[in-house]
């Protein structure tokens, strides 16, 4: 393989999305080409930094007070649900009651949805 071909496939190679035969060709090229190996290392570092940054942002993310108010208003307005009958997800054999406070309806969720 030539450098241009390898460089264009480094991201999918790094993400393990290349077919096995192509992966072997890329590995053989990387074994003898320091420039492509360096590009792979830099891409790997960049992907790890982005991944770690996204994880950090996700741990700090939470809905605003306005979001919760909007959700509550939708529930009380009966958006997509009938407050007279429980919502049901999955097969009836897996339904389990889940009760909410005040005038919220009882919802039934499959066991797999329980934490």
Same domain flag for 22 and 56: yes
HEC sequence for 27-76: HHHHHHCHHHHHHHHHHHHHHHHHHHHHHHHHHHCCCCHHHHHHHHHHHH
Instruction: Flag the least confident range among 5-9, 75-79, 83-87.
Output: 83-87
Q: How far apart are CA 45 and CA 14, in angstroms?
A: 11
In a domain, 68, yes or no: no
* Per-residue model confidence (pLDDT) at position 40: 96
Same domain flag for 53 and 89: no
Q: How far apart are CA 67 and CA 115, in angstroms?
A: 23
Class of residue 75 by CB neighbours under 10 A (exposed 0-12, middle 13-18, buried 19+): middle
* Per-residue model confidence (pLDDT) at position 84: 52
With contact defined as beta carbons under 8 Å apart, do 83 and 105 qualify?
Answer: yes
Q: What region, left, alpha or beta, does residue 17 occupy, with left being phi > 0 and alpha being psi -120 to 50 degrees?
A: alpha
Query: Does pTM top 0.75 for this prediction?
Result: no
Domain enclosing residue 108, as ranges: 73-113
| pLDDT tens, position by position, 15-59 | 999 999 999 999 999 999 999 999 999 999 999 999 899 888 888
Same domain flag for 55 and 94: no
Same domain flag for 47 and 90: no
Same domain flag for 51 and 24: yes
- Total domains in the fold of the chain: 2
């Amino acid at each position: 393989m030539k450098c241009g071909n390898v460089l264009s496939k480094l991201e999918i190679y790094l993400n393990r999305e290349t077919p096995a035969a192509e992966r072997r060709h890329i590995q053989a090229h990387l074994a003898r080409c320091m420039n492509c190996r360096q590009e792979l290392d830099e891409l790997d570092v960049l992907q790890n930094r982005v991944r770690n940054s996204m994880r950090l942002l996700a741990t700090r993310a939470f809905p605003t007070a306005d979001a919760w108010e909007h959700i509550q208003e939708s529930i009380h307005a009966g958006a997509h649900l009938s407050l007279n009958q429980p919502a049901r997800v999955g097969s009836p054999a897996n339904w389990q009651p889940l009760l909410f406070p005040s005038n919220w309806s009882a919802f039934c969720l499959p066991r797999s949805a329980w934490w």
